[in-house]
Amino acid sequence: MNTTLLAFFIVAFISLVAAWRVITDPSILHAGLWMGLSFVGVAGIFLLLEAEFLAGVQVLVYVGAITTIILFGIMLSDVGEVRVGPEPPGWVQAGAAWHRGLRHAFPLLVAAGFAGTMLGLYTQSGWGQLRERPLELAGLSVGGIGRELFSTFALPFEIASLVLLAALLGAIVLAMREEER
């Protein structure tokens, strides 16, 4: 086994376990921190794919902005612990135990299903062939990404920023309405 593959398995394992803990951790703040770790793991996978720019942006945006904002929101909103899933039915002990097991297994099942779907999509779309070409030529260098964003993908890029702007304005409007009450 070569070192890249080994590194991939380690990083992937860390991000998967972290993602699983995001759903199962009873403390919502810990869930937020696990989410940050999971994002860092994804950045590690980008690094292994030699997409340094994407890895940098991943950390900058997902750890620096999104995780921070979510942690910030949690701290401002005074929720200590959240219950995960509905209460187990008290009249069947075996059922309750089964339910407890399910409570931890269910997120894993969902994750596995999602991973299976995505893997199916990847194999169908023929993205595996991208690996044949050097990534610099595939337009994944910093300059290449910049040029692509401002030419081929200019319109989708602008649409994405418009959506974000709309979300921002919506958030401001929601916050204002709260203030008036």
Partner 1 sequence: MLVDWVASLYQSVQATFVAHGWPLWVLAVLTAVLKVAGVLVWILLNVLFLIWLERKISGHVQNRPGPVYTGRFGLLQTLADALKVLLKEDVIPAGADRWVFVLAPLVAFVPSVMIWVVIPFSRGVQAQDLNIGILYVAALASFTVPSLLMAGWSSDNKWSLMGALRSAAQLISYEVPLILAELGVVVLAGSLRLSDIIAAQQRSVWFLFLQPVGFVVYFIAALAESNRTPFDLPEAESELVAGFNTEYSGFRWSIFFLTEYANLLGMASLAATLFLGGWSGPFLPPFVWFVIKTYFFVFLAMWIRWTLPRIRVDQLMDLGWKFLLPVALVNLVVTGVFVVL
Task: Kindly state the smallest distance separating residue 69's Cβ from partner 1, in Å.
Answer: 8
Q: Round to whole Å and give the CA distance between 1 and 44.
A: 19
86: its two tokens: 């509905």
Which residues have C-beta within 8 Å of that of residue 136, sequence separation ≥ 6?
144
Name the phi and psi angles at 26, rounded to 5: -70, -25
**With the CA atoms of 123, 3, 10 and 5 taken in that order, what torsion angle do they form, in degrees rounded to the nearest 10?**
10
Q: Under rule CB under 8 A, how many of the chain's residues touch partner 1?
A: 25
Q: Which of 102, 72, 79 is nearest to 89 (CA)?
A: 102
Q: Looking at beta carbons only, is 3 or 129 nearer to partner 1?
A: 3
Q: Is 138 in the site for partner 1 (CB under 8 A)?
A: no
146: its two tokens: 């910049």
Q: Looking at beta carbons only, is 80 or 128 nearer to partner 1?
A: 80
Distance (Å) of CA 123 to CA 64, 119, 136: 32, 6, 22
Here's the x/- map for partner 1, 38-77, by CB under 8 A: it reads as --------------xx-xxx-xx--xxx-xxx-xx--xx-
162: its two tokens: 């418009």
Task: Kindly state the smallest distance separating residue 79's Cβ from partner 1, in Å.
Answer: 12
Q: Is 24 in the site for partner 1 (CB under 8 A)?
A: no
Here's the x/- map for partner 1, 74-103, by CB under 8 A: it reads as -xx---------------------------
Q: Which residues bind partner 1 (CB under 8 A)?
A: 3, 27, 29-30, 33, 36, 52-53, 55-57, 59-60, 63-65, 67-69, 71-72, 75-76, 141-142
